[in-house]
Amino acid sequence: MQRFTPRVRVQMLLIGMVTLCSVATAESPHNNYMIHCQGCHLADGSGHPPDVPSFTGQLGDFLRVEGGRAYLVQVPGTANAPLDDRSVAELLNWMLERFSDRMRPANFAPYSAQEVAGYRREKLADPAARRKSLLAALPDA
């Protein structure tokens, strides 16, 4: 068995602690947003209209129309994200709070992993057309 000096032991312990801390924070919703969404939707959620929609001030609107809650999970960027259902639920809940807190209905219930799993099984044939129809169905549209 190889013996290490006290200095090497301390260095190894510090490296292990740093690694453990980085793994523990890597799965935060904010980090997942930066990794999986921010490239197109930008740090502030503004997107690149008209091709990439803005989240700011309108993401919560989808919760006010029938089918909108499912849509937020079923858009290709969400449905195909390399995240498990729990992480997607946490990410969507974080995004709704961050980008559209005032737009969420008073009776808003956070997404759950089970709900996300169910919605992810249903694929959208035409996400842009679905988005357009949902926005047109908004009560004050």
Q: Which residue has the higher pLDDT, 82 or 1?
A: 82
Give the mean pLDDT of 104-129: 94
State in Å, rounded, how far the first CA of the chain is from the last one: 72
Element (H, E) at 36: helix 29-36
pLDDT at 17: 56
- The per-residue pLDDT for range 20-31, each reduced to its tens digit, is 444 444 579 999
Q: Which residue has the higher pLDDT, 12 or 32?
A: 32
Q: Percent of the chain, pLDDT > 90? A: 61
SS3 45: coil
Reported pTM:
0.78
The pLDDT of 66-82, averaged and rounded, is 95
The per-residue pLDDT for 93 is: 96
Q: Three-class SS of residue 96?
A: helix
How much is the pLDDT for 13? 55
Closest CA to 37 of 87, 95, 84: 95
Q: Is the pLDDT of residue 19 over 70?
A: no
> How many Cβ atoms from other residues are within 10 Å of residue 95's Cβ?
22
Where does 28-136 sit in CATH, by number?
A: 1.10.760.10
Mean pLDDT within 12-25: 51
Average confidence (pLDDT) over 69-88? 95
What are the structural domain ranges in the chain? 28-136
Asked if residues 89 and 111 have their Cβ atoms less than 8 Å apart, the reply is yes
